[in-house]
């Protein structure tokens, strides 16, 4: 199998090499600089557009060619690419908050034209949106939500911390898995079916403080993209979604910074440049509840620790206009400690990316990424001292190519390979032998090729295929189970031995047809395959994450999803509306047997039950982007089901993440330069759950009899959040600017259930149900600043 895989990689890179080595004036099969019988010779034109003062690249700048009535926009790096005939043309370059620039450009050979835009001093600071104005109409992807950090900052925040994860939970089809948590479900999928990336590196647990905060410091975030099922072809390994968090990059101005002082935590970010080719950014964030505990008169509280911190660092060096090298580092940690024990968990992430432009229309990114999620649970009690360590570590090599063959045809191709190391747990106890859970090792490879093809002015397609391979590696003992899920046989495989391989072809295709300049219809189909999953039977989530791979006894999960939608903009794209319908058919869906033992179980696969699932729904969205009043309203009607022969007597039951109705309303109003007001309201049907419906007695002790799987629902969830921003001295040109944020989470104090527990041994004989909720109304105040 290895021979076939590496031959396939070789073919991909040989194809790439044929493009790379060809001189731009020589013929090759896809050359755009040729003279055709039907038109003049076309040339590659590209460049970068930056801020004049800071040197920072500008995203989504509009470039319009007056004589040809055509244009394009810059990408996230401020780069643009076009093919134009020879001649002299008028370039009109415009961007919100900047003076429009018009220049006459002579196109005689393939050339690079860079531009700098001056800030419009008459305009105050504006929010730069992640999308170009009509991107929701023209792009072929469906189920894609893009947010800039400016849009996210407009939303009310829990405890004063603006949060990427909390922001996307307000988007259609996305729902929080628990109150206040950072876990989320996309279109009925589980939390482990979401791939989360920070600058191209995987984050396995994106939570701080058990999910009340996420690992993303908003000061370092540039843009956020969420793909709800229709993933870009270069990514795989998850069924439901991709959350791509892009950090600030390539800043070339003078030293600047931003930060905030809050009741729970504070943060600081600094960025600058070294010469005109190297830029850097460093940021930190820390909570300080533990510092206040030191002031307590109680000795136990003084010895306690409750805190989290983040550290971000990034450095980018431009060797030339064609070559850029970036190093991104992240470390985050949570610590909860007391005299009786402690709990500690965190992430380590690093990525090194070399970006190279072989020609104006051919860009490659070669990256090496590593990620580690780990936790330690320790008891220090007498005669019960124990320490439990667990972690998962990935190392990934990937090479991606973006190839613009013409304005109407683009290719993306590449390959990746990841080494997974799963360490479920190591238990150490004084005076006892160590207990070590079996380790898992695996290789996950992917090769992909995709195309975007504009057939006519109104009709565009995207299509491609991804070939994924997953290999289990020794050393390990592989078990065979009988029909009752008891071990019947086992085989030992030595270190480095590939003892099982899964293959998966993942085709994806989509189309968009423009009905007019401001409306379109779209449709797509996508197949995704997932080879690793999370052993966690609680929808509330837990930092005690136990990831495990597909093995001979556990087949990879697979989803086939179709969707279609209608998109319509109004008032020159100031108002966006959309309706999307989707249907997902899932195979080899993983669930767990009743009363399964998931933690510290060396034969976890014996607790796994698999079957089929389906999810379907319709999403409505109305969004207003401009004016003093901005915001959105969305509504989702959906259903998510599972059918597993050995669960619920084989009857179909609701997924733990099924929510029939979900409404999100978010609005921001800025009546003046000093004041702005924001409000967000969410309502959703309660999560399905299993309740006790009876009990039986054994020796005077009562035990529950439960209903069918997820036969009941918790009470409906709803919450209103409010915030006010006040800028004491509004002066956009001032070196130091500050603002006060006052926020109120759960403004009317609704008690949303977090955990419901039952006491069977009551004097009356009637089980006593107790609801635990996390938050009433939570006020907070934060001072934000930048310089």
Is the pLDDT at 24 greater than 60? The verdict is no
Rounded Cα distance between 371 and 359, Å, is 32
Distance from C-alpha of 187 to C-alpha of 513, rounded to nearest angstrom: 25
Lowest average pLDDT, out of 96-110, 449-463, 608-622, goes to 96-110
Q: What is the pLDDT of residues 451-480, one digit of tens each?
A: 999 999 999 999 999 999 999 999 998 899
Q: Per-residue DSSP letters for 348-362? A: EEEEEEEEEEEETTE
Name which of 72-86, 212-226, 653-667, 738-752 the model is least confident about.
72-86
Interval 288-298: pLDDT, tens: 877 777 766 67
Tokens of 148: 């800039």
% residues pLDDT > 70 (the chain) = 87
Residues sharing a CB contact under 8 Å with residue 731, sequence separation 6 or more, in sequence order: 737
Mean pLDDT of 11-38: 39
Rounded-to-integer distance, Cα 6 and Cα 10, Å:
6
The pLDDT value recorded for residue 766 is: 65
- Kindly tell me if the per-residue pLDDT of 28 is higher than 60: no
Strand, helix or coil for residue 380: coil
Length of the chain: 787
Q: Which of 3-12, 118-127, 475-484 tops mean pLDDT? A: 475-484
Query: In percent, how much of the chain has pLDDT > 90?
Result: 44
- What pLDDT score was predicted for residue 397? 97
334 within 8 A of 346, measured Cβ to Cβ: yes
How confident is the model at residue 124, as a pLDDT?
44
- The residue among 599, 612, 610 whose CA lies nearest residue 641 is 612
Say if residues 326 and 248 touch (Cβ distance below 8 Å): no
Task: Report the candidate in 486, 403, 497, 412 with the shortest Cα–Cα distance to residue 447.
Answer: 412
| pLDDT single digits (tens) 344-358 | 999 999 999 999 988
pLDDT tens readout for residues 397-407: 999 999 988 88
737 vs 373, more confident: 373
Residue 287 has pLDDT above 70, yes or no: yes
pLDDT of residue 543: 61
Segment 50-73 mean pLDDT: 80
Encode pLDDT of 628-641 as tens digits: 999 999 999 999 99
d(CA 549, CA 442): 8
Dihedral sign for Cα 686, 689, 695, 701, please: negative
Half-sphere exposure of 87 (CA within 13 A, CB side): 13
pLDDT of residue 26: 37
Distance of CA 132 to the CA centre of its chain: 21
Average pLDDT, the chain: 85
Which of 776, 775, 756 has its CA nearest to residue 767?
756
How many other CB atoms sit within 10 Å of the CB of residue 721? 22
CA dihedral over 58, 143, 561, 535, signed as positive or negative: positive
Both structure tokens of 73:
């926009």
CA pair distance 727, 730, nearest whole angstrom: 6
Best-predicted range by mean pLDDT (8-17, 219-228, 235-244, 589-598): 235-244
Q: Which two tokens stand for residue 746?
A: 């759960």
CA-closest candidate to residue 720, choices 670, 759, 679: 679
pLDDT for 35: 35
pLDDT reported for residue 765? 62
pLDDT bin (cut points 50, 70, 90) of residue 484 is: confident
Specify burial of residue 331 (Cβ count, 10 A radius: 0-12, 13-18, 19+). middle
93, 104 contact by CB (below 8 A) = no
Report, as an integer, the average pLDDT of 112-134: 63
Instruction: List the single range of 14-18, 45-49, 180-184, 252-256 with lowest mean pLDDT.
Output: 14-18
Q: How far apart are CA 347 and CA 516, in angstroms?
A: 47
User: 371 - beta bridge partners?
Assistant: 349, 394
**Rounded Cα–Cα distance for residues 32 and 110 (Å):** 11
Contacts of 383 (CB under 8 A, 6+ apart): none
DSSP state letter for 98 = B
Q: CA 441 to CA 495: how far, in whole Å?
A: 10
Structure tokens at 767: 């089980």
Give which of 205, 196, 193, 179 is closest to 615, Cα–Cα: 193
**Residue 591: exposed, middle, or buried by beta-carbon count in 10 A (0-12, 13-18, 19+)?**
buried
Which one has a higher pLDDT value, 5 or 65?
Answer: 65
Q: Which residue has the tokens 């440049």?
A: 273
pLDDT of residue 763: 67
Measured in whole angstroms, the distance separating CA 207 from the mean position of its chain's CA atoms is: 12
CA separation for the pair 427, 225 (Å, rounded): 39
Which has the higher per-residue pLDDT, 129 or 202?
A: 202
- What is the mean predicted confidence (pLDDT) over 645-659? 93
CA–CA dist 260, 271 (Å, integer): 16
Q: Among 371-385, 556-570, 765-779, which is the least confidently predicted range? A: 765-779
User: Does residue 707 surpass a pLDDT of 60?
Assistant: yes
pTM of the model: 0.85
Question: First vs last Cα of the chain: how many Å apart?
Answer: 56
In angstroms, rounded to a whole number, what is the distance separating the alpha carbons of residues 299 and 518?
66
| HSE value, Cβ hemisphere, 13 Å, CA-based, for 77 | 19
With contact defined as beta carbons under 8 Å apart, do 142 and 522 qualify? yes
User: In this predicted model, what pLDDT tens digit does every residue of 157-213 receive, in sequence order?
Assistant: 767 677 888 889 999 999 988 776 778 999 999 999 999 999 989 999 998 887 778
User: In the predicted model, what is the mean pLDDT of residues 305-315?
Assistant: 92
Listed range (316-325, 689-698, 734-743) with the worst mean pLDDT: 689-698
Helix, coil or strand: residue 228: coil
pLDDT of amino acid 180: 65
For residue 685, count other CB atoms closer than 10 A to its CB.
17
Cβ count within 10 A of residue 545: 21
Backbone angles phi, psi at 585, to 5 degrees: -115, 120
Mean pLDDT of 127-144: 72
């Amino acid at each position: 199998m290895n021979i076939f895989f590496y031959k396939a990689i070789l073919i991909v890179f040989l194809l790439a090499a044929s493009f790379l080595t060809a001189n731009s004036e020589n013929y090759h099969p896809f050359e755009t600089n040729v003279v055709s019988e039907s038109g003049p010779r076309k040339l590659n034109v590209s460049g970068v557009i930056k801020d004049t003062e800071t040197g920072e690249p500008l995203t989504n700048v509009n470039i319009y060619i007056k004589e040809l009535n055509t244009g394009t926009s810059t990408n996230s790096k401020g780069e643009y690419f076009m093919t134009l005939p020879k001649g002299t043309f008028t370039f009109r370059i415009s961007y919100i908050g900047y003076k429009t620039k018009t220049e006459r450009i002579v196109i005689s050979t393939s050339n690079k034209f860079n531009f700098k835009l001056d800030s419009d001093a008459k305009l105050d600071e504006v929010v730069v949106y992640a999308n170009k104005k009509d991107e929701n109409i023209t792009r072929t992807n469906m189920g894609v939500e893009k947010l800039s950090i400016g849009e996210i900052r407009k939303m009310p925040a829990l405890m004063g911390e603006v949060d990427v994860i909390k922001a996307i939970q307000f988007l259609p089809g996305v729902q929080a898995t628990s109150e206040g948590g950072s876990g989320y479900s996309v279109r009925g999928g589980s939390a482990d079916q979401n791939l989360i990336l920070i600058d191209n590196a995987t984050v396995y647990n994106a939570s701080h403080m058990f999910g009340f905060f996420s690992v993303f410091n908003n000061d370092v975030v540039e843009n956020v993209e969420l793909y709800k099922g229709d993933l870009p072809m270069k990514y795989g390994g998850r069924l439901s979604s991709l959350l791509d968090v892009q950090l600030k990059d390539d800043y070339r101005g003078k030293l600047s910074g931003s930060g905030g002082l809050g009741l729970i935590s504070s943060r600081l970010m600094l960025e600058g440049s070294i010469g005109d080719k190297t830029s850097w950014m460093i940021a930190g964030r820390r909570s300080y509840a533990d510092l206040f505990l030191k002031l307590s008169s109680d000795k136990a509280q003084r010895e306690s620790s409750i805190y989290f911190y983040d550290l971000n660092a990034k450095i980018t060096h431009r060797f030339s206009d064609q070559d850029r090298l970036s190093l991104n580092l992240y470390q985050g940690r949570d610590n909860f400690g007391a005299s009786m024990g402690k709990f500690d968990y965190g992430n380590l992430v690093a990525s090194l990316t070399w970006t190279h432009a072989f020609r104006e229309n051919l860009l490659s990114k070669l990256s090496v990424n590593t990620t580690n999620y780990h936790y330690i649970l320790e008891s220090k009690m007498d005669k019960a001292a124990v320490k439990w360590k667990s972690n998962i570590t990935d190392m990934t090599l990937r090479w991606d190519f973006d190839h613009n063959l013409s304005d109407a045809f683009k290719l993306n191709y590449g390959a990746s390979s990841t080494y997974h190391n799963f360490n479920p747990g190591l238990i150490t106890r004084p005076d006892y032998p160590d207990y070590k859970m079996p380790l898992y090792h695996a290789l996950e490879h992917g090769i992909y090729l995709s195309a975007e093809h504009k057939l006519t002015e109104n009709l565009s397609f995207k299509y491609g295929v991804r070939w994924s391979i997953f290999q289990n590696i020794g050393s390990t003992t592989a078990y065979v189970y009988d029909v009752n899920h008891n071990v019947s046989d086992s085989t030992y495989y030595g270190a480095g031995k590939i003892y099982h391989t899964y293959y998966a072809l993942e085709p994806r295709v989509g189309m968009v047809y423009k009905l007019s300049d401001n409306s379109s219809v779209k449709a797509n189909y996508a197949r995704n395959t997932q080879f690793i999953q999370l052993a966690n039977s609680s929808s509330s989530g837990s930092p005690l994450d136990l990831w495990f791979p597909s093995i001979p006894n556990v087949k990879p999960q697979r989803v086939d999803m179709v969707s279609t939608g209608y998109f319509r903009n109004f008032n020159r794209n100031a108002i966006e509306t959309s309706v999307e319908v989707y249907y997902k058919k899932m195979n080899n869906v993983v669930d767990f047997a009743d009363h399964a033992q998931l933690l510290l179980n060396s034969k976890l696969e014996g607790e796994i039950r698999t079957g089929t699932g389906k999810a379907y729904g319709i999403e409505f969205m109305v969004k207003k982007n401009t004016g003093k009043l901005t915001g959105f309203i969305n509504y989702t009607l959906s259903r998510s089901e599972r059918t597993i022969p050995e669960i619920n007597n084989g009857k179909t039951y609701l997924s733990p993440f099924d929510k029939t109705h979900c409404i999100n309303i978010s609005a921001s109003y800025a009546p003046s330069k000093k004041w702005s007001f924001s409000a967000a309201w969410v309502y959703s049907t309660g999560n399905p759950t299993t309740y006790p419906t009876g009990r039986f007695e054994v020796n005077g002790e009562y035990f529950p009899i439960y209903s069918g799987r997820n036969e009941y629902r918790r009470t409906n969830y709803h919450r209103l959040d409010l915030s006010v921003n006040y800028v004491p001295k509004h002066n956009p040109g001032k070196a130091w600017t500050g603002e006060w944020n006052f926020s109120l989470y759960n403004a009317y104090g609704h008690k949303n259930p977090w955990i419901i527990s039952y006491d069977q041994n009551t004097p009356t004989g009637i089980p006593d149900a107790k609801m635990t909720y996390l938050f009433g109304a939570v006020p907070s105040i934060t001072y934000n600043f930048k310089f």
